[in-house]
Amino acid sequence: MNTRRLAEQGEETIGQIALRRAGAAKEVAAGIVFLASAAASYVTGTELEISGGKFAVQMPGDCWE
């Protein structure tokens, strides 16, 4: 997500995110730092989704209705 998209489609986009807010760059960076650290030395073959729950369900907005 970028600033322009948030300005143009903010309400609609935020409505599709389970946590109801845009993520911050530092939240994405924290995941990258974890994967690059010794704490992730036993992590293999997985995805770390940093989406605020946007893709946790097929229609995230439905959980709020």
pTM: 0.66
Q: pLDDT tens across 3-50, in order?
A: 787 788 888 888 888 888 888 999 999 999 999 999 999 999 878 889
Tokens representing residue 47 in the block: 């995805």
User: 25 phi and psi, to 5 degrees?
Assistant: -55, -35
Alpha-carbon gap, residue 52 to 35, rounded angstroms: 18
Altogether, the residues listed in the chain come to a count of 65
